Chain A
Amino acid sequence: MTKLKVGIIGSGNIGTDLMYKIERSDVLEMSVMVGIDPNSDGLQRAAKRGYETIATGIDGLVERLDLVDIVFDATSAYAHQQNSDALTAAGKKVIDLTPAAIGPFVVPPVNLQEHLDKANVNMVTCGGQATIPMIHAISRVVPVAYAEIVATISSKSAGPGTRANIDEFTSTTSRAIEVVGGAKKGKAIILLNPAEPPIIMRDTIHVLVEEAGHEDAIRASIEEMVTAVQAYVPGYSLKANTVFEGTKISVFVEVEGAADYLPAYAGNLDIMTAAAVQVANEIARHALQEVTQ
């Protein structure tokens, strides 16, 4: 079976971690790493593993579009618009890991099948990937009036991009809680904890449902969703028992990373890249299937 060729723009933590995950795919072939600093760890690792590297950013990639079918963009919301325009005009699929959100939000176990044909899809945020499956697990049982998530990540796993644009995390995540999670109103909070050794990413989901009760159905739905997320993020688990207080439900999740590039505490990085590769795998299977039909 042929594979789709993958390019990654952005040779930082996310881009480098993506490279390792793509190597494990049976429908994707790592092709080119694109950065702007030839000395970056990501470009050097890619070159060492025998992949093409481009150190002149999107302009360089546009000269070599033959190298890619699907492109992951792990740069910034600001750069993404231009990157996306150049790539989609040439018929390339774009998976956006920045907060730009030009294309629809995708959270794999919730709505991936709806968006396989889109030219550009957005991966929300790490906190969104970790929590929206749980919100959806509740909202498919009983209507959710309000959902709020608290993502706590280790300071070491928060890169300069996240730090400089922390409001983008809260606004993008809140929007996706509503659009994908199915809550009528969403809110997101992010906390950084500098403890050593670094803490593993934890996420708490508080929701207000429109009708109390249904506890067994909600617990079962949550368990089922945890299993669905574990299919691509094995370190995803419930950290404590779900708490029911009237119409308020609190779910506690921990996300341990696969330690492909950053250590296991950086579950926030892992769940973004694992979800993005999951999306690319499905897009590739879908595209390859259409070709064979």
Chain B
Amino acid sequence: MSQVTILDVSLRDGSHAVRHAFTEAQVRAAAKGLNAAGVRYFEVSHGDGLGGSSLQYGLSATDELKLIEAAASECTNSDVSVLLIPGIGTKQDLQNAVTAGAKMVRVATHVTEADVAAQHIQLGRELGLKTVGFLMMAHMAPVEKVVEQAKLFESYGAEVVYVTDSAGAMLPQDVTVRVEALRDALTCDIGFHAHNNLSMAMANTVAAVQAGATFIDGSMRALGAGAGNTQTEVMVSVLEKYGYATGIDLYKLLDVATDVIAPIMQQPQEITAGSLVLGHAGVYSSFLLHAQKAAQQFGVDERDILMTLGNMKAVGGQEDLIYEVAQQLQRA
């Protein structure tokens, strides 16, 4: 039976959905449950990674280092991962996270900009972390470009390279060609991260695994940016039916989803008009709640804001464009 390593991102991607307001008690309870359920890795950081607490993306209610420390203190089997986006977080932030107990780092760049991550990936290896390269907005680049950039990550020392569908814009065939191309071109492991904006998260996840991905992200109750991620507990069941071993105790995982995550949720992770447009126009999923707020503030339609951002080819992190676009639409 082939093995798939599931990485739960509820406590990182889910940070967007709760407007970066996770408490130490919530994180501790979720960490305890994930550890008991046998989830090998789970991620704890601001939604935009280490150092993401900002006016641009939302200030963290609790310092992420405190959350990482709380999560790590509950782990006996699991390891805590952190996300680091160079340009937002720094090597110093990573060192602080390691002091707080992080054992894995995922260094993320836009799919065409891998070379800004060389120092951070090298530092991850030097610190003895499981080190991952994360190519965001992978739908925006052709397969050859994805391969070229993934090879850069591998050359810096990444042990896993992810195809990341940050906009939830990919179809299963898009996932298959990218993962297969990486499988052929790289010797390291391949990972896949989905968003459910077009209701394709599970189908894309299955396509990724069948194409050779061995690391897969999910979030409990799909708690994540936009329409959320592949739902971890559903994925455990589906992958087992497909004949993959996850090493996760489904019952115990369901307990965490029901008892810890469900009560935290500020809104259901359904595919709303806005989240559908994210996937349709290829827009970074964390723009959703910011666009909804700007739509109200400026009296315009959130779909128009997001559609315009897609046409402008905005990349992850450009939340400030939302204000400008909303003002333009208001004047139009």
Which residues of A are interface residues toward B (Cβ below 8 A)? Answer: 146, 148, 150, 152, 155, 160, 163-167, 169-171, 187, 189-195, 202, 204, 206, 208, 239-241, 243, 248, 250, 252
B263-297 interface code vs A (CB 8 A; 1 in, 0 out): 00000000000000000000000000000000000
CB of A191 within 8 A of CB of B313, answer no
> Contacts A166-B116, A170-B90, A191-B87; is A252 near B317 (CB within 8 Å)?
no
Count of chain B residues with a beta carbon within 8 Å of a chain A beta carbon = 29
Which residues of B are interface residues toward A (Cβ below 8 A)? Answer: 54-56, 86-88, 90-92, 110, 112-113, 115-116, 118-119, 312-318, 320-321, 323-324, 327-328
> Contacts A208-B55, A248-B55; is A171 near B324 (CB within 8 Å)?
no
How far, in angstroms, from A239 to B326 measured CA to CA in the complex?
12
How far, in angstroms, from A14 to B113 measured CA to CA in the complex?
21
Which residue of A164, A167, A189, A243 is within 8 Å of B54 (Cβ)? A189
List of B residues within 8 angstroms of A189 by Cβ? 54, 56, 87-88, 317
CB of A252 within 8 A of CB of B320, answer yes
Q: Closest residue to B109 on the A side, CB-wise?
A: A192
CB of B55 within 8 A of CB of A240, answer no
CB of A193 within 8 A of CB of B314, answer yes
Q: Closest residue to B293 on the A side, CB-wise?
A: A245
CB of A163 within 8 A of CB of B115, answer yes
How far, in angstroms, from A283 to B316 measured CA to CA in the complex?
41
CB of B315 within 8 A of CB of A193, answer yes
A114 → B minimal CB distance (Å): 29
A199 → B minimal CB distance (Å): 8
How far, in angstroms, from A208 to B277 measured CA to CA in the complex?
32
CB of B112 within 8 A of CB of A167, answer no
Query: Quick one: which of A160, A190, A240, A252 has the most chain B CB within 10 A?
Result: A240
3 nearest A-B residue pairs (beta carbon): A204-B320, A206-B55, A195-B313
List of B residues within 8 angstroms of A167 by Cβ? 86, 90-92, 119
> Contacts A189-B317, A192-B110, A195-B312; is A164 near B119 (CB within 8 Å)?
yes
CB of A163 within 8 A of CB of B56, answer no
> 8 A-B residue contacts at CB 8 Å?
A163-B116, A189-B87, A191-B315, A192-B87, A192-B113, A195-B313, A202-B321, A204-B56
CB of A240 within 8 A of CB of B113, answer no
Query: Quick one: which of B54, B113, B115, B116 has the most chain A CB within 10 A?
Result: B116
